[in-house]
Structure 1
Amino acid sequence: MKLSLLEFGEGDAGSNSLVRLRNVFDYALRADELGFHRIWLAEHHHYNRRRAWGCPLAVIPVIAGMTERIRVGTGGILLRLHNPFDVASQFKLWNNIYANRLDLGLANGGSPKIESLELPPAPGATASFDSKFEQVVAFLRDEERLRERRIVLPPFQGAVPDLWALSTSARGFHRALQHGTHYVRSIFHEVAEREPQLEAFEAFKAQFAQRHGRPVKTILAISGSCLRNEARLRALRREGERDDKHHLIGTASYFSEVLPELLQTYGADEIMWRDMSKHLDEKLETLELLASVVGQEQQACVACPAH
């Protein structure tokens, strides 16, 4: 089982932006040591004076430089706010600096407050999300066509980061299918569709393989908390009831059953975990417990006669 992380850069009420940023660095370093597969940073522009970042682009190469094995990426860039050429250029360069460990997740979202600033429009600023999505894919993959126009994204013929289409719907995979990107489905956002619709999802994977000649990678994004202290878990459940998001909360024993079941039910390849706790000590405890769950699952898989 592959287990990855999604980080929003949040923190407890007593921490300011720089403390929260340092906590994310500690979190990423520990995740790297424990063997987590990816850590992605989300882009949000909610009003919060203590937020670690709005756009994570400046933080991505810092974490990539601090870590050794874990893949680093965005979950996702709100492409309506960005220039597709700039995004493609930065991620291609970072991907080649950091040993082909970069993931570029693209999300169809924006920020009315940012868009209302009336900044000078960038090229393609009026383009739709789908148009910008297509441009990013083309800039990264159509290198020869760019070369004919005497344009290059350094390094020439360098490795391209993995591209991911993000969605909250069981049927939101059309961009991945059209452009040959990988696919992430969230079931924790307040607007997320939680019905598995496994038959439709398996049909998408079959169509993808037929059209692109390779399997698609798929991720299921969830939110929750995994701790030892039952009293604290009860408090988090009460907190979760007041939240619009969907959270899974329990001990390591609970998640040893739930995580494999989720992969099977939704047909995904790996789980991406967003920790609902805002306390670093709890998040680090969760990392340890989830790493033990994955380790137990892998040992059971090796011991199975079918393997």
Structure 2
Amino acid sequence: MTTAKKISFGVLDFGYRAKNINSLSIIEDVIEYASSADDLGFSRFWISEHHDPNALLAWSNPQPMIPILAGITKNIKIGAAGVLIGIHNPYHVATQFKLLSNLFPGRIDLGVARSVVNPFAIQCVEQREDVDNNTMWETIPEKIKNLFHYLVDEDEIYKNGTGVVIPPYKGAIPDLWMLGSSYKSLDKALELGANFSRSIFHPGSDKESRLDELHIFREQYLAKHGRLPKINLSISGFCSKTSQKAQKIIKAQNMTPERHTIGCPNKFFDEISKQHEMFGIDEIILMNPSHNLTDRIESLQFISELFHLN
């Protein structure tokens, strides 16, 4: 293990837990997990949006969870990763996240995802049976454009008192993020002035580093917006006391170890350092697949100590 450049760590949580815990207990578990991440110096705590036929699903839309998590923490940024904008009204999303951004100044992230959605959820939203992901995909570019418009172009929305205010008037907006499993959305992030989070653990993710594309994006972004974007890398994995324990946790859930960054502290540190160099990104967002709260918090403790997060 060698000394590495400063790396920040955030947390991503899907709300998935073991079958012997009910959905409300899962929320209690997530609250404790977020509080631990805050105490240990982690940068962000993001929760996902999923609409699954899963009786243990703790939430589908993450937005009601965000003020709860922000309220029980002090420093860590809380956000959605991400809002499945295809099934949401951009105006409603803007009103909710702008208010949260001012209730918890500097601590709210709004991530936008263009992922596929359970077709039945689309039908529930649209109140029609003749819609599917193809229908939803057609609406996404305009919805993303409108969402950013409602948040960024406040005076245009106000229309000299003849339009509408998204409260609080002249208030701060959340940090805006585009999410993707490749760099195909970099052009949209550049156009809108959004930060970018790239996943390399979702099925079908592009795992090539593509550093040249990232360097070009940063240069173009700086020229267009006068600032550099925030960019992070989302991975699945955890740090355990021994590599054997890490392997055991993964195999107990019938997962493939190769898809996860796991190991004892020394091994985990070396793997993260490699990813840091390979992808040129100084912030990692970690999705811990373990269902056990004690194991997940232990992983946070190891990572906090290894990378001097506090």
Structures share a fold, TM > 0.5? yes
**2:261 and 2:271 in contact (8 A); partners too:** no
Correspondent of 2:151 among 132, 140, 145:
140
CA distance in 1, matches of 2:232, 2:151: 22
Using the TM superposition, give the Cα deviation of residue 235 of structure 1 relative to its aligned residue in structure 2, in angstroms. Answer: 1.8
Correspondent of 1:258 among 260, 271, 279:
271
Using the TM superposition, give the Cα deviation of residue 40 of structure 1 relative to its aligned residue in structure 2, in angstroms. Answer: 0.4
Count of residue correspondences: 294
Matched residue, 1:155: 168
**1:75 and 1:106 in contact (8 A); partners too:** yes
Moved over 6 A (4+): none
Matched residue, 1:19: 25
**Which has the larger displacement, 134-143 or 146-155?**
146-155
1:23-67 CA-to-partner distances (Å, cap 9, x unmatched) read: 000001111111110000000112210121111111011101111
Matched, 1:34 2:40: yes
1:131-152 CA-to-partner distances (Å, cap 9, x unmatched) read: 1111111000000001114210
CA distance in 2, matches of 1:69, 1:120: 40
CA distance in 2, matches of 1:120, 1:190: 30
One-letter code aligned to 1:133: I
**Mind listing any 5+ residue stretches in structure 2 that lack a counterpart?**
1-6, 129-135
Matched residue, 1:219: 232
Using the TM superposition, give the Cα deviation of residue 232 of structure 1 relative to its aligned residue in structure 2, in angstroms. Answer: 2.3
CA distance in 1, matches of 2:303, 2:50: 26
**2:250 and 2:290 in contact (8 A); partners too:** no
Matched residue, 1:56: 62
CA distance in 1, matches of 2:58, 2:120: 18
- Tell me: CA distance 1:228–1:118, structure 2 relative to 1, closer, same or farther (3 Å): closer
Using the TM superposition, give the Cα deviation of residue 70 of structure 1 relative to its aligned residue in structure 2, in angstroms. Answer: 0.4
CA distance in 2, matches of 1:202, 1:14: 46
One-letter code aligned to 1:132: K
**2:42 and 2:304 in contact (8 A); partners too:** yes
Matched residue, 1:302: none
- For the residue of structure 2 that corresponds to 1:272, the secondary structure is strand
One-letter code aligned to 2:241: R
**1:190 and 1:245 in contact (8 A); partners too:** no
- For the residue of structure 2 that corresponds to 1:117, the secondary structure is helix
Using the TM superposition, give the Cα deviation of residue 264 of structure 1 relative to its aligned residue in structure 2, in angstroms. Answer: 2.0
Matched, 1:183 2:192: no
Matched, 1:292 2:298: no
Using the TM superposition, give the Cα deviation of residue 126 of structure 1 relative to its aligned residue in structure 2, in angstroms. Answer: 8.9
Using the TM superposition, give the Cα deviation of residue 248 of structure 1 relative to its aligned residue in structure 2, in angstroms. Answer: 1.1
Correspondent of 2:12 among 6, 12, 16:
6
One-letter code aligned to 1:220: L
- For the residue of structure 2 that corresponds to 1:164, the secondary structure is strand
1:261-285 CA-to-partner distances (Å, cap 9, x unmatched) read: 2122112231000001011111011
CA distance in 1, matches of 2:176, 2:189: 9
Matched residue, 1:104: 110
- Tell me: CA distance 1:55–1:247, structure 2 relative to 1, closer, same or farther (3 Å): same
- For the residue of structure 2 that corresponds to 1:76, the secondary structure is strand
One-letter code aligned to 1:20: I
CA distance in 2, matches of 1:211, 1:244: 41
Using the TM superposition, give the Cα deviation of residue 119 of structure 1 relative to its aligned residue in structure 2, in angstroms. Answer: 4.5
- Tell me: CA distance 1:106–1:89, structure 2 relative to 1, closer, same or farther (3 Å): same
Using the TM superposition, give the Cα deviation of residue 243 of structure 1 relative to its aligned residue in structure 2, in angstroms. Answer: 4.9
Matched residue, 2:131: none
**1:165 and 1:181 in contact (8 A); partners too:** yes
CA distance in 2, matches of 1:254, 1:62: 35
Using the TM superposition, give the Cα deviation of residue 239 of structure 1 relative to its aligned residue in structure 2, in angstroms. Answer: 5.2
**2:240 and 2:299 in contact (8 A); partners too:** yes
- For the residue of structure 2 that corresponds to 1:50, the secondary structure is coil
Matched, 1:86 2:92: yes
**2:247 and 2:257 in contact (8 A); partners too:** no
Give the percent of matched residue pairs that are identical in Structure 1 and Structure 2: 33
Alignment RMSD, CA only? Answer: 2.0
One-letter code aligned to 2:103: I
